[in-house]
Amino acid sequence: MDFKLTDEQVMLKETARKFAETEIKPLIPAMEEKKRTPKELIRKMKELCFYAIQYPEQYQGVGSTYLEYVIMMEEVSRVYCSIGGHISVNNLCAGTINDFGTDEQKKKHLPDLIMGDAIGSFAFTEPSTGSDPGAIRTTAVRQGDYWVINGEKIFITNSTIPGYIVLFCKDVEIGGKITNIIVPKNSTGYSTPKLVEKMGMNGMEVADVVLEDVKVPFENTTGGEKGRGRGYEILTTEISVGKLGISAQCVGMAQAALEESIKYAKERVQRGKPINSFQTIQWHLGEMSADVQAARLMVYWTAFNRSQKKNILFDSARTRLFASQACHRTVSSAMQIHGAFGYTKEFIVERIFRDMKLAEIYEGVNEIQRVIAASEFLR
C-alpha cells in the first residue's frame, strides 16, 4: 500500500491550488453578489482540462483517474466550493453519457462536455420528490422518431448554462418506468424561469426547469432502445460518483476552515496571550485535523475503487456521510474559534458555514446515505 502521491498528482494539486487562489478567489465577491458562474472562469477551467480529468482520451479526456479528479476537486473547493459543485454536476451529465451512452452519443456529446464547450446538468428532482425515484411525474411520450417531454424539475444545477441536461422521465409507452434522455438546453419548450435563492453555494447556478412539449430525437435516449427503463440504475450509479465529488468538496472546505482557524488562533490575543495557547482551542484544532485527515483518506479510498471500476455504491454513501459530517463539525469549530468575528462577513468561515450545509442534503440526504451504507450488511 503506497500513500504517496505521484509527481504528476503533486503537480496537479499545486496547479489546481494556484489556479483557485489566483483565478477563482478574486471573482468570489462578484459570484456571491450576482449568483452566477462566470463564463470567463468556465473558459479558463476548460483550458486547464478541469472538466476532462477522468475521461478517456478518445473523447478528448485527459485519461487520468478519479484520484486525480478528487485532488483537483479538493483544491478548487478549498477556495470556493460553488465551483467544485459546478464541475461535479457537469460530471454527473458527462459521466451518465460515458457510462451508459451509446458509442454515437459518446462521440456526439462527450467531447463538448469534457472540453467545457457545453455544460452538463442532471435532472431528477421534482416538486413532489427528491428522495423517491418512484414519485417522479415528468413524462416522455414517444411520437415516431421523437420524444415529447412535459413536466417540471426543481433545484437543477447548471440548468441556466448552455449545454445538455440528462433528464429522468416516466416513459409512458413502457408503463412509466424511468428512462433517461439527453436534452439540449436550447430545445424549444425548455425554460428556467428563475434562479433559486439559496443560503450559500452562490457561485453555483441552480434553477427550476420547465419542460413544455420539448421535442428531442428518439436517438437521444441514453443507451438507445436498450437504455429504456434503466433510469433507476443510471441514477444510483452516477449519484455514487457524484457523492464522491461532494465528499472531495467537503475535504476542501474543511481544510480551508482548519487553515483559517490556525491562522486566527495564532493572531487573536486574549488575557495577554494568543488564543492557541488555550487548551480548549487546541482541542478544537486537534479534532478538526483528525476529521480532515480521515475524510480525505476515505475520499482517496473511494476514488481509487472507482478508478478500479468497482461498484462504489456503499463506499460512496459512507464517504459522503462521514465527509459531510466531518466538514460540518470542522466548520462549526472554526466559527467557534473565530468567536463573534466568525459570524461576520469579514471572515471567510461565515461563507463556508453557509456553503457546507448543502453537502448533507443534495444528491441524497444523509438519512438515505445511512440506509444505503447499512444495506450492505442487511441484504
Q: What amino acid positions are annotated as catalytic residues?
A: 363
Q: Tell me how far, at minimum, the Cβ of 99 lies from ligand FAD, in Å.
A: 17
Q: Which helix (DSSP H) or strand (DSSP E) does residue 297 occupy?
A: helix 279-307
Which residue in the set 69, 80, 122, 353 belongs to the binding site for ligand FAD (CB under 6 A)?
A: 122
Among 123, 136, 140, 257, binds ligand FAD (CB under 6 A): 123
Least spacing, CB of residue 3 vs ligand FAD, in Å: 33
Nearer to ligand FAD among residue 296 and residue 351 (C-beta): 351
DSSP code, position 5: P
Which region, left, alpha or beta, applies to residue 305 given φ > 0 means left and ψ of -120 to 50 means alpha? alpha
List strand residue ranges (DSSP E) for the chain, in order: 119-123, 139-143, 146-157, 163-171, 177-184, 190-191, 206-217, 269-270, 273-274
Q: In what helix (H) or strand (E) does residue 153 lie, and over which residues does it extend? A: strand 146-157
> From the CB of 106, what's the least distance to ligand FAD, in Å?
22
Binding of ligand FAD at residue 322 (CB under 6 A)? no
**DSSP reduced 3-state for 175:** coil
Residue from 6, 58, 131, 280 binding ligand FAD (CB under 6 A): 131
Residue for grid cell 473565530: 338
- The Cα 54–Cα 65 span in angstroms is 5
Q: Which residues lie closer than 8 Å to 220 by C-beta, 6 or more apart?
A: 105, 147, 181, 182, 183
What x/- string results for residues 197 through 236 when contact with ligand FAD is judged by CB under 6 A? Answer: -x--x----x------------------------------
**CA separation for the pair 205, 37 (Å, rounded):** 6
What is the total count of residues that contact ligand FAD (CB under 6 A)?
A: 24
The DSSP bridge partners found for residue 190 are: 211
Q: Which residues pair with 214 in a beta bridge?
A: 149
Which positions from 229 through 288 interact with ligand FAD, judged by CB under 6 A?
Answer: none
**130 part of the interface to ligand FAD, by CB under 6 A:** yes
Nearest distance in Å: CB 72, ligand FAD: 20
Picking from 252, 376, 251, 241, the residue whose alpha carbon sits closest to that of residue 310 is 241
Strands 163-171 and 146-157: unpaired
Interface with ligand FAD, residue 19, by CB under 6 A: no
Least separation in angstroms between CB 319 and ligand FAD: 17
12 vs 201, beta carbon nearer ligand FAD: 201
362 in contact with ligand FAD (CB under 6 A): yes
Residues 6+ apart with CB under 8 A from 95: 238, 241, 242
What's the min distance (Å) between Cβ of 131 and ligand FAD?
Answer: 3
- The least CB distance from residue 85 to ligand FAD, in Å, is 7
Beta carbon nearer to ligand FAD, 23 or 233: 233
Binder among 155, 164, 322, 347 for ligand FAD (CB under 6 A): 155
Q: At what angle do helices 366-378 and 313-342 cross, to 10 degrees?
A: 150
Residue 156 found at the interface with ligand FAD (CB under 6 A): yes
Phi, psi for residue 118 in degrees, rounded to 5:
-130, 140
Asked if 45 contacts 87 with a C-beta cutoff of 8 angstroms, the reply is yes
Q: Name the one range near ligand FAD by CB under 6 A: 47-55, 208-216, 264-272, 367-375.
A: 367-375
Classify the C-alpha dihedral 183-92-321-334 as positive or negative.
negative
* Residue 68 engages ligand FAD in binding (rule: CB under 6 A): no
Nearest to 300 by CA among 308, 92, 28: 308
Nearer to ligand FAD, 155 or 300 (CB): 155
Member of 52, 358, 372, 373 binding ligand FAD (CB under 6 A): 358
Considering beta carbons, is residue 46 or 198 the nearer one to ligand FAD?
198
User: What one-letter code names the amino acid at 180?
Assistant: N
Q: Is 80 in the site for ligand FAD (CB under 6 A)?
A: no
One of 71, 89, 114, 373 touching ligand FAD (CB under 6 A): 89
164 lies in the site for ligand FAD, by CB under 6 A: no
Task: Provide the residue type at 220 as one letter.
Answer: N
Residues that bind ligand FAD (CB under 6 A): 89, 121-125, 129-131, 155-157, 198, 201, 206, 358, 361-365, 367-368, 371
